[in-house]
Chain A
Amino acid sequence: MREGEFDIRPDTAVWDHWRRHAEETPDEEAIVHVAVGDEPRRWRWGELVQASSSAARRLAEAGVGAGDVCALIIRHSEYFYPVYLAVSSLGALPAVLAYPNARLHADKFREGLRGMSSRSGLDHILTERDLLETVTPLVSGAESTVRDVLLPLEWFRAGDSWAGPIVRHPPTDGSDPCLLQHSSGTTGLQKAVVLSHRAILEHVRRYAEAISLTRRDKVVSWLPLYHDMGLIAAFYLPLTCGVPLVQLSPMEWVTSPALLLSTLSSEGGTLCWLPNFAYNLMAERVREEDLAGVRLDSVRLLVNCSEPVRAESHDGFHRRFGRYGLRREALGACYAMAETTFAVTQSVPGREARSLNLDRAELSRGNAVPLPDSAAGRRSVSSGVPVSGCAVRVVDESRREVPPGRIGEIAISSSSLFDGYRNYPEKTAEVLEAGWYYSGDYGFVKDGECYVVGRKKDLIIAAGNNIYPEDVEDAAGKVRGVIPGRVVAFGVEDESVGTEVLCVIAETEAEAEKDRKALRLAILQAGMAIDVSVARVYLVPPRWLIKSSSGKPARSANRTRALGELTPV
């Protein structure tokens, strides 16, 4: 096999590839688990697959079988990996869910799981003892499909031999479902993307080509695995290709952002995927003294994805870390979504993601007209060219293709397209038509490269997390002093943090300064209870909000009005 080529057959199970690595390269590193304060745990292929097979036997004894949906709600742990691989080895469908933040109310968390259960047919919850009390009521709950709660981390002890035969995946031609992927938010938890083994393997093969992946690469990631970028780009891609993955804790990274840079340096990492806000956070918050001895010469590609890519974020990041050996041409970008397994377009490796300086006036008329770099305009970063097997077209509201340079909705066809939202045919029909997925993102194509400039949907993406405005409006609307139903939530770009921040407009009769400050605090707390951070609160008098034709407050119109007229409390 030549370097850069990977033997990936889409008519197999993903587990078959992991098992093959254990047979062919048992002593090669598969996953390096990094936890601050501990020596890294270096899983080699042989022991990883052995431990996974051991866990698979325990899961099978507990009644987990092919086709079962298993929610994995587990914090950063060295034993997460064999548990995940074990679920997959049995032909069951792993669905990684975010471990609930302590501020998220237990009822709200259960509500999300209940919604997932009724929509996706959740069979088993694999979690930690700390969460047992919270999730156990789901097992006996009316209409709940949850059969049991398992605590698989407790099956492992340091020094275990995990002896026993290696598990064989049930026969498949690749068309069987492999995993479920949920977007975040209580509403989103009910909309699961189903991906087949074929879709994932096809995508891994094609995306590996697009980023010129070789066996000399090493992925370093702090991304959570409940997110498609973390799960597909930084987990399935390296593991399926037999490329080592160094996994950090998302919480430890955000607490101490220098951790990613020091790990890239110490491990010789070459590849990393990041949402845009991470570039700002590291450029602004990492201290020089935390970078003693750090070198970033080994990094050949940093992929900016999952949020709008901002040229200023790339500039600031390179200005800060160029002196540590970070090459400008390593700053890449990608356009991706769970519905297409992951990447649709990718910048060319070895070349910095292109950017255009666009005429703002033309942009507001729906045209992408480039200006000279020196002129005042809006810089837009290219997300690259379509990955092989993917095609992109830009369409108008009637889903007719528009001329190049005209802004419209981005539609995608892909050899790794999802099979639909699980048990949600009406939602699937809204976005899938004749083999094209209608993304809800606005953008344009120029010189074969795809530029994403906005969103049709009201979805808010804050620090890589999807927030559904309905969830926030529902929570804020229940705050005493807010007129019920008279709330609008929306996102606003905050250049200083490199991401969107969440804003709430609420109608109230409160006028006294003291009452308004108390109301702001109560709205912040309502956000905390559903694990979102409200950055700005605008309090307005009754009948201030503009209604849509359906009688509900119109988000877009109220957003424009609030930003033009109001100051946050």
Chain B
Amino acid sequence: MVSDKLKKVILAQLKLDDWDIVDGTTADTVPGWDSLTHAGLICAVEDAYRIRFRASEIVRLKNVGQLQELVDRKTAERTA
């Protein structure tokens, strides 16, 4: 499930007050989330969680649910 923290990071980066962001949400359904803003959004997520993604991990992401799973895994690795 998409956490409130991740949702807040995404909305803040896209300058949206609110938007329904769930596991199945894809970038193309969210206003302002396009190919140019994507890289900045990923950096914002990395900074918010103090984690780093590899290029191959980012390219494979299909929706926000997968981004959340990746964040959870990276966060667990960092704290392990």
Contacts and interface: CB of A to CB of B under 8 A. Distances in A.
B59 A36 contact: yes
Given A281-B36, A285-B40, A497-B36, A521 B31 contact: yes
B36 A517 contact: no
A36 B56 contact: yes
Nearest to B59: A36
Q: 6 smallest A-B Cβ distances: which pairs?
A: A524-B31, A256-B55, A103-B28, A254-B35, A285-B39, A533-B34
B3 interface: no
Contacts of A433: none
B38 A287 contact: no
A532 to B, nearest CB: 9
A37 interface: yes
Contact of A463 (B36, B40, B52, B54): B36
Interface residues of B, number: 22
Interface of B: 16-17, 26, 28-29, 31-32, 34-40, 43, 52, 54-56, 58-60
Given A103-B28, A277-B36, A255 B52 contact: no
A512 interface: no
Nearest to B61: A255
B28 A285 contact: no
Interface in A366-413: none
Which of A101, A255, A525 has the most B CB atoms < 10 Å from its CB? A255
Contact of B36 (A36, A254, A290, A528): A254
Contact of B55 (A259, A499, A533, A535): A259
Interface residues of A, number: 30
A281 B36 CA distance: 8
B38 A255 contact: yes
A232 interface: no
A256 B52 contact: no
A289 B52 contact: yes
A262 B54 CA distance: 13
Given A281-B39, A525-B31, 5 more contacts: A36-B59, A36-B60, A254-B39, A524-B31, A528-B31
Nearest to A280: B36
A37 B54 CA distance: 12
Interface string A157-193: 0000000000000000000000000000000000000
Contact of B59 (A252, A497, A524, A525): A252
A311 interface: no
Contacts of A277: 36
Contacts of B16: 521
A257 interface: yes
A37 B39 contact: no
Contacts of B36: 254, 277, 281, 463, 497, 499, 533
B77 to A, nearest CB: 15
Nearest to B38: A255
A463 B59 contact: no
A102 interface: yes
Interface in A507-525: 517, 521, 524-525
A255 B31 contact: no
Contacts of A251: 35
Given A36-B56, A103-B28, A517-B17, A257 B34 contact: no
Contacts of A533: 32, 34, 36-37
A521 B18 CA distance: 10
A55 interface: no
B34 A258 contact: no
A486 to B, nearest CB: 22
Interface in A74-114: 101-103
Interface in A256-293: 256-259, 262, 277, 281, 285, 287, 289-290
Given A251-B35, A254-B38, A103 B29 contact: yes
B28 A101 contact: yes
Nearest to A35: B59
A102 B26 contact: yes
Contacts of B39: 254-257, 281, 285
Nearest to B30: A528
A290 B44 CA distance: 17
Which of B28, B31, B37, B54 has the most A CB atoms < 10 Å from its CB? B31
A51 B59 CA distance: 29
Contacts of A252: 59
13 contacts: A102-B28, A103-B28, A254-B35, A254-B36, A255-B38, A255-B39, A256-B39, A285-B39, A285-B40, A285-B43, A289-B52, A499-B36, A524-B32
A290 B55 contact: yes
Nearest to B14: A524
Nearest to A526: B31
Contacts of B37: 533
Nearest to B43: A285
A258 B34 CA distance: 18
Contacts of B34: 533
B43 to A, nearest CB: 6
Contacts of B56: 36-37, 256
A256 B52 CA distance: 13
A490 B65 CA distance: 35
Nearest to A37: B56
A255 B26 contact: no
